[in-house]
Every structure is written in structure tokens, then in C-alpha cells.
Copies of this chain bind each other. A is one copy, B any other.
Amino acid sequence: MESKKRTDVNELGEFGLIDRLTATHECSHPSTLMGVGDDAAILDYGGQPIIVTTDMLLEGIHFDLMYTPLKHLGYKAVVTNLSDICAMNGLPRQITVSIALSNRFSVEAIEEIYEGIYTACRNYNVDMVGGDTNSSKKGLVISITALGSADAGKITYRKGAKPGDILCVTGDLGAAYLGLQILEREKQIWQSNPGVQPDLEDQTYLIGRQLKPEARTDMVTLFDQSGFIPTSMIDISDGLASEVKHLCKHSGTGALIEEAKVPLKDESQLMALKFKLDPITCALSGGEDYELLFTADEKDLPTIRTLPGIHIIGEMRPQEEGIKLQTVNGRFHDIVAQGWQH
């Protein structure tokens, strides 16, 4: 089955592999406006632009059923896709859902997953329009494709930022990662001593951010209502550090982030310290915060200041200045990030 030369996938890493696999394919259909290379593809079928994105979640890789309720899993599987539609400044309309599961899952268990999927559909006004249900030899796989739209002039890409643009993020960062740390800790305690009840320390916010994230369709609507269009935007679920690099790479800029301005909730700060983790590292590289990172032209600063839930964390700089973090004590560090390693 295999060719003679054998390169291990780990040698390339995820982004290296994707680059290598997509290098040989060029989009040529006139209806393809944007193919691989952003949070979602953009198609033109003559009406409103179509935004398409897809994501696959695998048991044991992306989620652990030991602490993930099936209903939450279904909900989150939808949200992760909707978040990519939001990142193009669009709103989701439809999803398709393909699921494969082994016979250890009962019909009732599958129904719980779909209950989560349908709850997300209701909350976000999205229709489930198709899919596929399969047996798997082992484990659970969920593959979702989401479709959405935006007015033609409002689609926002990763490219488009320029030096001087304001760099902003919605919501707060690091909480989903810290929620995961709590769940993993309790799993390990439980595995070595199944009699012990899990101690979730009433950390409903942190755990909720991990198990039941939301997509920021509210932000897309808010932007629309205020007549604001970001110059560039990206979903930040792989971590702020790696995503600011994507914005810079696609836009041909550098960036400066001020550590003091990176939004962390008090409970995230405290929990990070409890786990002896650097809070800013959790915020920069933790991942799974389904928030939006975007840039705005300086002229939009007054508008941005009126919008709730948005944090100005820095600005875009000329490419040659690199991508830097200015720490609270005034030092400058290069931002290094690999994204979130599952």
C-alpha cells in the first residue's frame, strides 16, 4: 500500500502536511472565490456568497467521553463549525452531520448526541439538512460541514490587515484550557481511585467554556448593526498566538500585543496559578476559546469603543518588526506558537 519513501507525518506537523497536500491543487471553477487557506471557503453561485467550512472530531483525539456528556459533545461539534463561519463575518444557516460509532453506543446514546446538535441548531437558527450515519469498528467520529452567508461586501478574510490597524479580541481567553485541566485532573484522580467524587470546585465558568462553548454570532450581528467591517478576522480556537501569526502571514504585517491588555477572567488567573501555569501562556496558547481575533482600521476606533465584549490588545505593525508581545514590565518577546496540540 505504501510508497518506497516513508516520511512520518510528525516530521511535517499539521500545517506542514496541509501545505504539502494542498500545494498541488489549484481551484479553477469560476464559482470558487476562496478555496483552502482561510477559516472557510467562499463560493459564488450568483446570489449571496456561500461560506463553507468543515471539521472532524474523533474520540480519543479531540474529546474524551469520560468527562464529556454526549449532549455537550453534539453541541460543541456544531459550535466549532459555526465559529469558522463567524470568522468570515458571516452567519450560519445549515449544517450536515456525519457520524460513525461502534456498537457500544445505544440508540439512546446517539439520540443524546443529536439532542446536543439540535439544541445548537435551535440556538443559532441553523438547519440540519443532511448527513450520514455509519458503524465504526472503534470509537466515535463526528464530521460536520457548516454553510452560511454574509452580504457580499462584508466577508472578512485573514488577509486585509495593515500596519496601524487595531488588533482586537472578543470575550476572554484561557478559560477553556483551564477547564480542561480541571477535567483531566479529576479524571486522573478518578482513575486511580474510582470511589472519589470529582471535585469541580464550582468552576462552572471554566468547565463550561471547555464543554459547552458558544460561537460568536452575536458579535457578527453587532458588527453588522454598527456598520463595522473588520479589515481581517480569524477564529481563535487554536490559540491567540498561532492565530495572530496567521493574520500577519496572510496580511503581510507584523503585530504587537500588549500582555496587560490580553483579557483573562479572575477565575482563569487564579486557576492558572493553582495549576502553576503562567496565566498569559494559557491565554496565548491554551486554545479552544471560540472567540474572534480581528483587526480594525483606526477610523473605526470610536465605533469599537462603543461595542461591548471587545478588547483592544495591540496593533498591527510593519512586517519587519515581527510579531511581539510587550510584557507588563515593558520587555518585548517574540511570540512563538504551534497552535493547539490535541
Which chain B positions have C-beta within 8 A of A141? 56, 58, 100, 136, 141, 143
Query: Whole-angstrom distance between the alpha carbons of A11 and B118 in the complex?
Result: 24
Query: Whole-angstrom distance between the alpha carbons of A32 and B125 in the complex?
Result: 12
Our pick among B4, B52, B112 for the contact of A94 (Cβ within 8 Å) is B52
Query: Whole-angstrom distance between the alpha carbons of A53 and B103 in the complex?
Result: 25
Which chain B positions have C-beta within 8 A of A44? 47
Q: Are B107 and A25 in contact (CB under 8 A)?
A: no
Q: Which residue of B lies closest to A27 (CB)?
A: B127
Report which residue of A12, A35, A52, A109 has the largest number of chain B beta carbons within 10 angstroms of its beta carbon. A52
Among A15-23, A155-163, A213-221, the one that faces the other chain is A15-23
Q: Are B54 and A98 in contact (CB under 8 A)?
A: yes
Q: Is A328 an interface residue (CB 8 A)?
A: no
Q: Is A197 an interface residue (CB 8 A)?
A: no
Q: How does the 8 Å CB contact mask read for A67-91 relative to B, with 1 for contact and 0 for none?
A: 0011000000000000000000000
Our pick among B5, B9, B52 for the contact of A96 (Cβ within 8 Å) is B52
Q: Are B94 and A29 in contact (CB under 8 A)?
A: yes
Q: Is A106 an interface residue (CB 8 A)?
A: yes
Query: Whole-angstrom distance between the alpha carbons of A60 and B20 in the complex?
Result: 27
Q: Are A93 and B29 in contact (CB under 8 A)?
A: yes
Report which residue of A27, A29, A127, A139 has the largest number of chain B beta carbons within 10 angstroms of its beta carbon. A127
Q: Are A125 and B29 in contact (CB under 8 A)?
A: yes
Q: Are B56 and A129 in contact (CB under 8 A)?
A: no
Q: Are A93 and B125 in contact (CB under 8 A)?
A: no
Q: Is A6 an interface residue (CB 8 A)?
A: yes
Query: Whole-angstrom distance between the alpha carbons of A118 and B109 in the complex?
Result: 37
Which chain B positions have C-beta within 8 A of A14? 133
Q: Is A108 an interface residue (CB 8 A)?
A: yes
Q: Are A3 and B96 in contact (CB under 8 A)?
A: no
Q: Is A275 an interface residue (CB 8 A)?
A: no
Q: Are A107 and B7 in contact (CB under 8 A)?
A: yes
Q: Are A134 and B29 in contact (CB under 8 A)?
A: no
Q: Are B36 and A130 in contact (CB under 8 A)?
A: yes
Q: Is A226 an interface residue (CB 8 A)?
A: no
Identify 13 residue pairs between A and B in the complex whose beta-carbon atoms are under 8 Å apart, listed by A's number: A1-B69, A2-B109, A21-B110, A25-B114, A27-B128, A35-B130, A41-B96, A41-B130, A50-B50, A53-B130, A56-B100, A59-B137, A60-B137
Chain A interface residues toward B at CB < 8 A: 1-12, 14, 17-18, 20-22, 24-25, 27-29, 31-32, 34-36, 40-41, 43-50, 52-56, 58-62, 65, 69-70, 93-94, 96, 98-101, 103, 105-112, 114, 118, 121, 125-139, 141, 143, 145, 147, 149, 342
